[in-house]
């Protein structure tokens, strides 16, 4: 009896030690993965349609519920479905999305348009959050001031990139291969990760300027939507993306 009890106590202590010893290792692994990955969908070939990271009315009044429902549930979903159909039975099925973008010029237009549409929208949703008076902080804030002189000047140039994109497309803040911030805009569903981009870089912030992103609320007034967009930027997420992108540059 005494022996059995001792065995149980020792086994319990052993379990405790194992648990204690393993916990930091797990955390370390998670930390490494987070540092390595720009964002989850870039390192998997399991292409899934993402849920919105907030409710459909979370960005009201700046981006209305109906626009988000249609934009995410219909437009984004269609890009996703068409992308999955376009890569079915091809070598792209086993590639991750960054590899596909890296070799974009070799692949059919359906993959460029729908793969871009799938990725860009996921990135756009995650770069927004419920309205707040947030501004970039820390290293990101310093980098923006260094590159654009002030936050207001950055905001002006980024807004201008969105306003002057003729037809449909996107405005981007990205990090180039030297660790320098730059603003660009891409037509249709292109993005700065594609080998055919005018200027390649790692995206940090994106704004959709397709009419479907704002027409129901703002009609033809794209500048009003752009002004409203600044109220829902998730600067914490952008700062995380910046630090991850910067750690890749310095390697």
Taking CB under 5 A as the criterion, the residue among 56, 101, 158, 210 binding Mn ion is 210
Show contacts with Mn ion in window 172-191 (CB under 5 A). none
Of 127, 49, 47, 52, nearest to 88 by C-alpha is 47
Taking CB under 5 A as the criterion, the residue among 126, 190, 208, 237 binding Mn ion is 208
Token pair 């009003």 is found at 224
Instruction: In angstroms, give the least distance from the CB of 76 to Mn ion.
Output: 7
Of 164, 79, 149, 154, nearest to 118 by C-alpha is 79
The angle at the Cα of 140, spanning 39 to 225, to the nearest 5 degrees, equals 75
Cβ closest to Mn ion, residue 116 vs residue 136: 116
Cβ closest to Mn ion, residue 148 vs residue 210: 210
For residue 166, what are its two tokens?
Answer: 């003729």
Instruction: In angstroms, give the least distance from the CB of 80 to Mn ion.
Output: 12
Show contacts with Mn ion in window 213-232 (CB under 5 A). 213
Give whole-number Cα distances, 35 to 28, 174, 242, 249, in Å. 11, 17, 11, 12
Show contacts with Mn ion in window 67-96 (CB under 5 A). none
The angle at the Cα of 239, spanning 234 to 245, to the nearest 5 degrees, equals 125
For residue 193, what are its two tokens?
Answer: 């990760």
Q: At what angle do helices 151-163 and 222-229 cross, to 10 degrees?
A: 150
Instruction: In angstroms, give the least distance from the CB of 125 to Mn ion.
Output: 10
Instruction: In angstroms, give the least distance from the CB of 208 to Mn ion.
Output: 4
Instruction: In angstroms, give the least distance from the CB of 170 to Mn ion.
Output: 8
Q: Does the protein bind Mn ion through residue 119 (CB under 5 A)?
A: no
Which segment (16-24, 167-175, 180-188, 208-216) binds Mn ion by CB under 5 A?
A: 208-216
Residues near Mn ion (CB under 5 A) are 208, 210, 213
């Amino acid at each position: 009896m005494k022996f059995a009890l001792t065995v149980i106590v020792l086994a319990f202590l052993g379990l405790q030690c194992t648990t204690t010893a393993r916990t930091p290792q797990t955390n370390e692994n998670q930390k490494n993965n987070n540092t390595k990955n720009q964002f989850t969908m870039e390192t998997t070939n399991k292409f899934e349609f993402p849920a919105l990271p907030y409710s459909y009315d979370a960005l009201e009044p700046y981006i209305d519920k109906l626009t988000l429902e249609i934009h995410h549930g219909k437009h984004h979903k269609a890009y996703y479905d068409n992308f999955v159909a376009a890569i079915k039975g091809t070598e792209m099925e086993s590639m991750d999305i960054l590899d596909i973008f890296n070799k974009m010029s070799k692949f059919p237009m359906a993959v460029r348009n729908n793969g871009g549409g799938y990725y860009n929208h996921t990135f756009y949703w995650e770069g927004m959050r419920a309205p707040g008076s947030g501004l970039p902080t820390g290293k990101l804030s310093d980098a923006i001031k260094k590159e654009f002189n002030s936050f207001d000047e950055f905001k002006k140039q980024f807004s201008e990139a969105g306003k002057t994109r003729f037809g449909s497309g996107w405005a981007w803040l990205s990090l180039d291969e030297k660790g320098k911030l730059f603003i660009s805009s891409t037509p249709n569903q292109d993005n700065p990760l594609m080998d055919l981009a005018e200027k390649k870089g790692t995206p940090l912030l994106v704004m959709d300027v397709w009419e479907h992103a704002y027409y129901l609320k703002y009609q033809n007034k794209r500048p009003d939507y752009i002004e409203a967009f600044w109220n829902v930027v998730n600067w914490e997420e952008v700062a995380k993306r910046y630090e991850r992108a910067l750690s890749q540059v310095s390697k």
